[in-house]
Structure 1
Amino acid sequence: MHTIEVVLAMLVAVVASGYLVRILPFSLPLPLVQIALGALISGVFKRGHALEPEVFFLLFLPPLLFLDGWRIPKQGLFRDKGAIVELAFGLVVFTVLGAGLLIHWLIPVMPLAVAFALAAIISPTDPVAVGAIAARVPFPKRLMHILEGESLLNDASGLVCFSFAVAAVMTGSFSLAQASLTFLWVAFAGLAIGVVVTLGVSTLQRWLWRRFGEEPGAALLVNLLIPFAAYLLAEEFEASGILAAVAAGISMSYVELSGRVSGSMRVQRTAVWNTVQFSFNGIMFVLLGEQLPGIVQRAVATISVTGHHEWWWLLIYVTAISVTLVLLRLVFVWLSLRWNLLRARMRGEQRAHTPTRVVLAMSVAGVRGAITLAGVLTLPLLLPSGEPFPARDLVIFLAAAVILISLLAASVLLPRLLKGLELPKDDSARREEDLARKLSSKAALVAVEKVRQQLVEGQPTARMQLYNDAAARVSLLYQRNLEKGQGPDEDPGKVRRMEQAYRSLRAAGLNAEREELFRLVRHGQLSDEVARRLIRNLDLLESRQRD
């Protein structure tokens, strides 16, 4: 019963955070509000929940990483694959070496392998936290795609480095050759398993639909279970379950391109996944807040291992590590950009220099999150000899503090760094949308005419006129898309205002229709079954209108 109460309390806290972030007179990112609520629950009301990292990983990370891989823009992911791989793997190794050496120098009593473990677990950026921060800042789209791609892939490299460092602490030895081979297996096997699971499940599901018909409820449940299947199967083969979940999500986006899923199921699936994403994201950060009071208490109690007894030394450690992470990221990003510019010049290409403020913003945008917390909490309690794991509580505190500092720094500095920044106008997305609307409308007009000819063939005159009128009404909708294209001299602002006015008027009409249907049901003039069907159609129209 206690577990059910904890889950319900978490969900209430998540709901409250969604309203608080709108009510508060000052602007705060949603993750910070959720962390504060978690700390309040644990520190004031003494209702904290002891986090089990393995359960945390299994329940929360696979579906969220699956969804991030599913929804991330694939064109940007593959277009900037070079920069993403450099950040996701090169920057992680660079951070582990640089930050690990600094931590060992700053806290000499912390063994070098433990310092490397701490540096490894704070090296990955968190896709959830990055998205939450960037949603409040006018971040350049292309750079946002790079950050999203990096945060999806660097989890595996950071966690693998972390596991190697912990193994070195436990065994007292480390083999670079063995570690490299293990890393290759963990990464590539994880990616392959994720792809195979998604393609296999989707193929089986389509066969079942053809033989026995489509069952929306079962299809939605299968879709929710895919990331867990990919994660568990990869872990069974000692590969990266995180990369498997990401690869499963990316594969699902290509499976969806087959267009074999009905529109109504897509609407239902989107609503379900949006709810899962909001709930799980919120629960992760509430859990992080709940762990903070206990982590701080244990860190203060064990600070004596560093040779200092004053609590403010913890602030010095956290500040030094956080600043080092930003500086290491800044150096690596700058060197990466210079190297890419040099290669472009060698190929005879001309590329514009990235503004300095954007480089600084990318350095500050390296936000850490729940993956760091869950990973660091898996540190063993004891060494094989029976002695306590060196500085375990201090390592956990420093990792949790770095998460908070990175969230605060990004919330405060990113809006200031990007304020008033003028970037080259990129209207490629608008051109693609206009072209897609025109081509799809032309295809729709051809299909409508083909069906009209089939319907009127051999029909009496009255029925032919009915079909012709219906076809004309449908064709008019698509003709609008062909005729409202923006001319070269037309004011873009005028076009945008016209579209906004059209959507507002259309939304008002749909709302009025729904209200009238509800009124008819309340007065017994319309059955529930018919009303649900009509309202469902209006909901689909409204969702299409918003898109």
Structure 2
Amino acid sequence: MEVAQLVTVLIILLLVATGVALLSRWLRMPYVAGLVLAGLAITQLLPQRIGLDASLVLNLFLPILLFEAAINTDISRLRNTVKPIALLAGPGVVIAAGIIALVLKFGLGLTWIPALLVGVILANTDTVSVIAVFKEVPVPSRLSTIVEGETLFNDILTLVLFNLVLNVNTTGSFSVLGGLQQLFVAIAGSILVGLGLGYLSTGSTGLLARLDDPLSSILLTVAVALGTFQIGQVLGVSGGVAVVVAGLIFGTIGLASHVSASNKLTLLSFWECASFAVNSFIFLLIGIEIDLITLWQTLPAVLLAVFACQVARIISVYGLLALVRWFDRPVPWRWQHVLFFGNIKGSLSMALALSLPSALAERSQLITLVFGTVLLSLIGQGLSLPWLVKSLHLSPLSTSRQQTEQLQAQLMTAKAAQDELDNLLRSGVLPKAVYEEMRSAYQVRVAGAEKALREIYNRRPNELDATVGNLTKFDAIRRRLLLAEKGALNDAIRKQILSEEIARSRLQKLDEQLLSLEDD
């Protein structure tokens, strides 16, 4: 495509995305579903037919989406929900891929390799639509963390399993021991690459610590995101896993220790914008890529694939999460309904379908199958998901909770401003007199919020709302404190400060207290 035509196409896509954003807000429909429908409608307006390029999505779009998700992930929240996330993103993906492959193998007469490839591709979930709904409809933070964590880590396992099946297709042989060895090497190697590049960029002597310019910091994060993916691919490990690990290191260590508040805001705003733009282009191009005539001709096969995905999701969600109650806080049934219905396919499934080797005999049939499933998933489940989340009333805001969160917001913002003032004083930007005057103004806000919060803390339970999700018990805060106690005890065991017998009994008591807390 010539440069002039490319610019014309970009202008059309940007205008369409802007119009969809406005229209979706007015109609109260999911933005990504609107983009797909718009893509179907504007195909004839483009000067030349375009579509998704697998190389572009895998090497540019995917690292951006993974890195943005990783730097915004709170490790402490992940640690609190690691068990249900591990079940859904680990055994859940394997079980779902196997069920889908079995249904397509015997339902469509596919051979094993194509059936397994489609099974792995469609076992992946894309929760852009789900998270967008969560921003409009309040849900418990633990549910939101499970959804975000599952998406982050099932992308990792999907990429690894996809490459494993392709390797079997190339070599023509497979052994369980060899497959497990390849899986371990791919994941362990990717983690080491991500850790190395993450710490190299964010450590106390790393590049980020030497930069005080937000624009230079943005360039560094872009280089880390794209470079980590490429280095992982060159070394023969999963670039996606390496990007996630590097992003987690960046978000946990880099942004917390070596970036000022203003620079952190600039960095996170940039990555939010980058992720939004990439998702907008991907979902528009999904609609443009799909040929409705071909889809209609293959509709029975697509409906069978959709059916297989739903059956697989039912088993992986309701079956696996039924086990959680034996070793962690149970996941409520209403949350499981959201996890099941949020089984929406997206950009990674499309990219993996397009990256299928051209030598694969059923390649065109498989691509159509995946594209059709993604389309029905985005439109069907994407449009009805907001109604489902609202009807379940997952997290109604009581009066006391609203009051508490408003005071917490006042306290957090005032303290953040005071921290920034301290940095400005130390760096010599502010004179002492101006610093003290501005800091005292914020201190008034801090004192007022602390006094009001203390009064709420001291109220007796029967004086407060008994609504589900009420913050009067402050379970979220207590849970963080208990997790901090567990971390201190585990460190003491490793350093042989405490005997294991004493520490283990205390750890068991802490686990019992954690399990007794209500879901936040």
The TM-score, its normalising length taken from structure 2, stands at 0.76
Which secondary structure does the structure 1 equivalent of 2:173 belong to? coil
Tell me, yes or no, if the aligned pair for 1:437 and 1:481 is still in contact at 8 Å.
Answer: yes
DSSP-derived class of the 1:266 partner: helix
Query: Counterpart amino acid of 2:308?
Result: T
- Residue 145 to residue 7, structure 1, CA distance change in 2 (3 Å): farther
Aligned twin of 2:516 = none
Q: In structure 2, which of residues 428, 439, 444 is the aligned counterpart of residue 476 of structure 1?
A: 444
How many residues are paired up?
Answer: 452
- 1:107-126 alignment to 2 at 5 Å? 107-108=108-109, 110-126=110-126
| Aligned mates of 2:180, 2:453 — CA distance in 1 | 55
Deviations 1:496-546 (CA, angstroms, capped at 9, x unpaired): xxxxxxxxxxxxxxxxxxxxxxxxxxxxxxxxxxxxxxxxxxxxxxxxxxx
Cα deviation digits, residues 90-147 of structure 1 (max 9, x gap): 1111112111111011111x21211111111111112434433544554443222112
Any idea what the Cα deviations from partners look like across 1:40-68, whole Å, max 9, x if unmatched? 34345352225431222111111111010
1:264 corresponds to 2:262: yes
Distance between the aligned counterparts of 1:464 and 1:180, measured in 2? 62
Residue number in structure 2 paired with 1:54: 55
Q: 1:369 maps to what in 2?
A: 346
State the one-letter code of the partner of 1:91: G
- SS of match in other structure, 1:366: coil
Residue 455 of structure 2 is aligned to residue 487 of structure 1: yes
CA positional deviation for 1:465: 9.6
CA contact (8 A) 1:137 1:414 kept: no
Q: CA deviation at 1:12?
A: 4.4
Query: SS in structure 1 opposite 2:276?
Result: helix
**Alpha-carbon distance in 2 for matches of 1:117, 1:277:** 27
Letter in 1 for 2:357: P
- Residue pairs, 1:132-281, within 5 angstroms: 132-203=132-203, 214-256=212-254, 258-281=256-279
- Deviation by residue 1:467-507 (Cα, 9 ceiling, x = unmatched): 98666545434434334437347999xxxxxxxxxxxxxxx
Judge conservation of contact 2:199–2:206 (CA < 8 Å) in 1.
no
> Which residue of structure 2 aligns with residue 378 of structure 1?
355
What TM-score, normalized to structure 1? 0.72
Equivalent residue letter for 2:214: P
Moved more, 322-331 or 115-124: 322-331
Contact (CA 8 Å) 1:35, 1:287: kept in 2 or not? yes
- 8 Å contact from structure 1 (residues 53, 378) kept in 2: yes
C-alpha contact (below 8 Å) 1:21/1:27 kept by paired residues = no
Aligned partners of 1:129 and 1:369 also within 8 Å: no
Measure how far apart 1:77 and its partner are: 1.3
Q: In 1, Cα distance between the equivalents of 2:263 and 2:121?
A: 39
Q: Secondary structure at the match of 2:455?
A: coil
Other-structure match for 2:321: 337
Distance 1:428 1:183, change over 3 A: farther
Q: CA deviation at 1:279?
A: 1.2
Superposition pairs of residues 299-314 of structure 1, within 5 angstroms: 299=294, 312=297, 314=298
Give the distance between the partners of 1:446 and 1:411, measured in 2 at CA. Answer: 42
Match of 1:65 in 2: 66
Unaligned runs of 5+ residues in structure 2 are: 466-520
Match of 1:315 among 269, 285, 299: 299
Cα 1:484/1:360, change in 2 over 3 Å:
closer
Per-residue CA deviation, residues 345-379 of structure 1 (Å, 9 max, x unaligned), is xxxxxx56723x43222111011101000011111
Contact 2:209/2:259 (<8 A) preserved: no
Which deviations, in whole Å up to 9, do the C-alpha atoms of 1:156-207 show, x marking residues without a partner?
2222322333333444332322221111111122122112212102238756
1:121 counterpart SS class: helix
Q: Please report how far the alpha carbon of residue 410 of structure 1 lies from its aligned counterpart in structure 2 after TM superposition.
A: 2.2
1:36-51 equivalences under 5 Å are 36-45=37-46, 47-51=48-52
Q: Give the secondary structure class of the aligned counterpart of 1:214.
A: coil
Are the equivalent residues in 2 in contact too, given 1:372–1:399 (CA < 8 A)? yes
Distance 2:419 2:288 in 1: 59
18-27 or 393-402: which moved more? 18-27
Call closer, same or farther: CA 1:409–1:470 in 2, change over 3 Å.
Answer: closer
Query: 2 CA distance for matches of 1:32 and 1:3?
Result: 29
- Contact between 1:130 and 1:148, CA under 8 Å: does it hold in 2? no
* Pairwise CA distance, 1:209: 6.0
From the superposition, tell whether residues 115 and 198 of structure 1 become closer, same or farther in structure 2 (CA, over 3 Å). Answer: same
Cα distance in 2 for partners of 1:100, 1:21 equals: 36
Q: Displacement of 1:152 after TM fit?
A: 0.9
Q: Is the 8 A contact 1:53 1:375 kept in 2?
A: yes
* One-letter code aligned to 2:355: T
State the alpha-carbon separation in 2 of the partners of residues 391 and 464 from structure 1: 73
Instruction: Tell me the C-alpha RMSD between the 2 structures.
Output: 3.7
The 2-side partners of 1:189 and 1:419 are apart by 42
CA displacement at 1:267 relative to structure 2:
3.2
Per the alignment, residue 359 of structure 1 pairs with: 336
| Offset, 1:26 | 3.4
Residue 388 (structure 2) aligns with:
417
Select between 134-143 and 47-56 the one with higher mean Cα deviation: 134-143
Partner of 1:96: 97
Q: For the residues of structure 1 that align with 2:402 and 2:189, how far apart are their CA atoms?
A: 35
Q: Report the alpha carbon displacement of residue 79 of structure 1 after superposing the two structures with TM.
A: 1.1
Shift of 1:238: 0.9
Q: Does the C-alpha gap of structure 1 residues 4 and 277 become closer, same or farther in structure 2, counting only changes over 3 Å?
A: farther
SS at match of 2:392: coil
Share of identical aligned residues, percent?
22
Question: Does the CA contact (< 8 Å) of 2:77 and 2:145 recur in 1?
Answer: yes
Q: What pairs with 1:8-87 in structure 2 (closer than 5 Å)?
A: 9-10=9-10, 12-23=12-23, 26-45=27-46, 47-87=48-88
Q: Which amino acid aligns with 2:85?
A: I
Give the CA deviation at 1:23: 2.8
Letter in 2 for 1:406: S
Kept in 2, the 8 Å contact 1:38–1:289? The answer is yes
8 Å Cα contact 1:18/1:30 also seen in 2: no
**Structure 1 CA distance, aligned partners of 2:331 and 2:168?**
42
Provide the C-alpha distance between the structure 1 equivalents of 2:420 and 2:372, rounded to a whole number of angstroms. Answer: 60
Q: Name structure 1 gaps, 5 residues minimum.
A: 301-310, 345-350, 383-388, 456-462, 493-547
Q: Quick one: which of 274, 280, 285 aligns to 1:287?
A: 285
